[in-house]
Chains A and B, each alone.
Chain A
Amino acid sequence: MLLWQILIDGFAVSALYALGATGFTLIFGVSGVLNLSHGAIMVAAAVAAWAASGDLHVGSYVATLIGVITSLVLSFATYFIAVRPIQHSRQIAESEKEIFILTATLLWGIIIQEAISYFFTNNAKTVLPIIEGVVTVLGVRTPANEYFTAAVCWIVIGLLWVLVNKTKAGKAVLAASMNPRGVTLLGFELSSIYLAVWAVYGVLAGIAGVLLGMFLGVSSYSVGPLTASAFSIVVLGGLGSVSGSLIAAYVVGYLETITAYLISPAYRTIPSLLLLLAVMYLRPQGLFGRR
């Protein structure tokens, strides 16, 4: 039974990690930006949904929508405040833009995090799940919300795949990640592609954030670990490789769940960190990365 429990829990946690990391890797793949305010945006989405259902007494679906809109707005704000000015700056040398964007998004994340804890306190918040109740499969009682979370994550990832691979706009985004100059030569406006990518990112991070709030709960303390886990999943899978980060999300999710169940929840993150270090030493481009 323990095995089944680990399989289910691990699957749900991993699906959530995968969804969170997908947006992160998409932004990196297309515009080369590592957004270190990622965790803060996810937490903001969850807290917005929590506040909407708690203070405004709206239903779960509306609350989720409010959370996703919050994340979308913050995603655009991140782009216009912390990323675009640096990309267009003449004072900063091209080779140093990367570290400046890292620093700026990190600071921006801290600002969001502090604003959340100022207005909504540091307490952990759990968003009311859309689906309530408990399901028993093979003798293991699991909250129905866990299956729901996993299902939504995979549906959204599937929709993203269709969007990127089958629609014209999506193909332009894909092309921009391979060769930005080529895309502009074909008459696509690169800046509108970036905007579209940040919009998609905002929606993905929002959904992941709200689901996380329903599944595990969030507080302003989860900002750092969330960013770190998305970062490490993406690097483990290989920067810019979406399928790589999906697989890496499952590796990390299951490693954490197994450790938590079989050894101790206190050691939860250690094996995945060790794995990450080993990969860094032995295969720096990540498990499925291209150099």
Chain B
Amino acid sequence: MRSLFSTRLFWLTVAVLVGAAVLPQFASGYVLGLLTVAYFTAVFAMSWDLLFGFAGEVNFGPTFLIGLGAYTAGILDQQFSPGLSIWICIIAGALAAVIGGVVLALPALRVSGPYFGLTTLVAVLMLQNFVVVFADLTGGEIGLSVPDVITIDQKANYWIALGFMVVSGAILFGLSRSSIGLILQASGQDKVQAGALGFNVAKHKLAAFIVSAFFSGLAGALMVFYMGTASVGTFIDVSVGVQVIIAAVLGGRRTVLGAAIGAVFLIGMGEILRPLGELATPIVSVVALAVVLFFPNGFLGMLRGEARS
């Protein structure tokens, strides 16, 4: 652990986070709102990175877990509004996502690569279909509006999102650097060999799914009570999942930290380019494609490459 505290990257991270924490004193509500969403997206991307970067599972459906958390929390709150504390709703959302994670982990233990990728994609499409079919409960395509929010204070919301990102980032990062992370990485790269070394691959992968699902669901549930609404377009749609994946790959896979950088970059970039109208998305995609092609290790890889040379 000592080596961690002496790296430049660690102190740089701390400096950035301190800067982020005092930002509400200077920045406008608009910027804060943007960053709040970016921080939640960062947790989505970091959770995804744990599954893909470490466990080697090609998960095209991060939004299956996010959506389960978001909609469970939202529906519970809408049905039992004054009687049920929103924190119970949020925890229920996280638990629902964990159950979803276990369901998703079952095929992952049997199939791999593109087969598993497709299973996750199908899971997302199924969830999307069910939201539309059970429109009475879920609000269907229009969306679900929840009666309660955590707080209407923009700064408080910002700090909650920031704190949540830092805590979950620290836990995920710590996990990835622990022996569990190493075993996951080993079983992701060579399942048979990792098993032959005496590690219980199935147990570790299941754990990775549960942790990833827990944080995805928790972030989804928190974000519902920040936004006050849940809709397919913001939580479940495949394009949301694609954005999470791009964020993680852009920042640098297998780093956890990079996923957060990628998410903030993506959301910020999308907003800066907004004046360009419809051209914004293709430009972001072109940049992302260029990074994937020329700097496959992402932003963090670029940073480290420079430090080395």
Contact = CB atoms under 8 A, between A and B. Distances in A.
Contact of B282 (A81, A118, A274): A118
B119 interface: yes
A92 B289 contact: no
Nearest to B282: A114
Contacts, number: 104
B296 A228 contact: no
A219 to B, nearest CB: 14
A103 B292 contact: yes
B189 A95 contact: yes
B119 A280 contact: yes
B137 interface: no
A111 B113 CA distance: 25
A224 interface: yes
Nearest to B190: A95
Interface residues of A, number: 43
A118 B293 CA distance: 25
B259 interface: no
B133 A86 contact: no
B122 A281 contact: no
Contacts of A15: none
B242 A99 contact: no
Q: Is the interface of B mostly helix, strand, loop or mixed?
A: helix
Contacts of A118: 278-279, 282
Contact of B114 (A92, A235, A267): A235
A239 B292 CA distance: 26
Interface residues of B, number: 39
A106 interface: yes
Contacts of B110: 281, 284
Interface string A121-151: 0000000000000000000000000000000
B17 interface: no
A110 interface: yes
B118 A231 contact: yes
What are the 8 tightest A-B residue pairs by CB atom distance, in nearest-first order? A114-B282, A284-B111, A107-B289, A110-B285, A92-B296, A280-B119, A111-B285, A114-B281
Given A104-B292, A269-B125, A269-B129, 20 more contacts: A82-B293, A92-B296, A95-B189, A98-B113, A99-B58, A102-B58, A102-B114, A107-B246, A108-B289, A111-B289, A118-B279, A228-B121, A232-B122, A235-B118, A239-B114, A266-B132, A280-B107, A280-B111, A280-B118, A281-B107
